[in-house]
Amino acid sequence: MKELSLNILDIVQNSLTAGASHIEIDLAETDETLRITVTDDGCGMDENTVRNVTDPFYTTRKTRSVGLGIPFFKLAAEQTGGGLTLKSVPASESDGHGTVISALFYKTSIDFTPLGDVASTLCTLVQGLPDGTEITFTHSLPGGTVSLDTAEMRAVLCGVPLSTPEVIVFIKDDLASQYAEARAMK
Ligand SMILES: Nc1ncnc2c1ncn2[C@@H]1O[C@H](COP(=O)(O)OP(=O)(O)OP(=O)(O)O)[C@@H](O)[C@H]1O
Ligand SMILES: [Mg+2]
């Protein structure tokens, strides 16, 4: 994939399929590294799935025999000298269920895939976000932090859907100005 933000879209899509009501997207960036962590409270995976999930020939979907979301993300991280970790608790267990996927990238590697347009990726996600699912996004950069909280936004919007074009434009502009500020502070 040309942009890591598209890998993120794919990983978050898995959380949506897993019926998550809260998805946390956390990007932590230094001058040398980028860590991308996606946490959800969805149905989780059993041990067997966790073991097989980084193998491109494993999937539970019926339409195609190959699941590539996680293997691609893992490969992109490993190519830079980093790696991917996955922790999951299935819904069958009594304690809180859900999944945490975290990938570390070395930005200094020539094989580092640029993050790309995260703001657009987020807008795509927000636009199609089902009712009852919230996203918290945080991107910490050396010069500051960019954030978005859909639950907070919904509270301010008093019933106006997040998918309203004006709302999406507002979110995009707001993220752009947060990024401009964080990058200017460096
Ligand atoms: N957050 C998650 N919660 C629960 N199960 C998950 C989660 N992420 C992945 N899985 C399980 O792992 C499998 C593999 O995921 P992966 O993204 O690699 O492929 P896929 O979603 O099946 O196909 P593709 O992403 O190529 O469309 C999924 O089919 C699903 O069973
Ligand atoms: Mg997937």
pLDDT per residue over 3-15, tens digit each? 999 999 999 999 9
Which candidate, 129, 169, 164, places its Cα nearest to that of 150? 129
Give the CATH class of 4-184: alpha beta
Model confidence at 1, pLDDT cuts 50, 70, 90, reads low
pLDDT digits (tens, 9 = 90+) for 130-170: 999 999 999 999 999 999 999 999 999 999 999 999 999 99
Residue 64, pLDDT score: 54
- The rounded distance, in Å, linking the Cα atoms of 85 and 100 is 8
Average pLDDT over every residue of 91-120 = 93
Residue 61, pLDDT score: 66
Which candidate, 36, 73, 81, places its Cα nearest to that of 56? 73
Residues within 5 Å of ion ligand 2, judged at the Cβ atom: 14, 69
Residue type, 37: T
CB atoms within 10 A of CB 181: 14
CB atoms within 10 A of CB 142: 11
Residue with tokens 């975290």: 102
CA of 165 to the centre of ligand 1 (A): 30
Average pLDDT over every residue of 14-26 = 97
Between 67 and 182, name the one with better pLDDT: 182
CA of 8 to the centre of ligand 2 (A): 10
DSSP H/E element including 102: strand 98-106
Cβ proximity of 99 and 86 under 8 Å: yes
Residue type, 81: G
Cβ proximity of 115 and 121 under 8 Å: no
Burial class of residue 66 in the structure, from the number of CB atoms within 10 Å of its CB (0-12 exposed, 13-18 middle, 19+ buried): exposed
- Pocket probe for ligand 1: among 24, 53, 101, the residue whose CB has the most ligand atoms within 8 Å is 53
CA of 169 to the centre of ligand 1 (A): 30
Cβ proximity of 179 and 138 under 8 Å: no
pLDDT digits (tens, 9 = 90+) for 31-77: 999 999 999 999 999 988 888 887 766 666 665 556 688 999 999 99
> Virtual CA dihedral for 133, 104, 9, 44, nearest 10 degrees?
-50
Residue 151, pLDDT score: 96
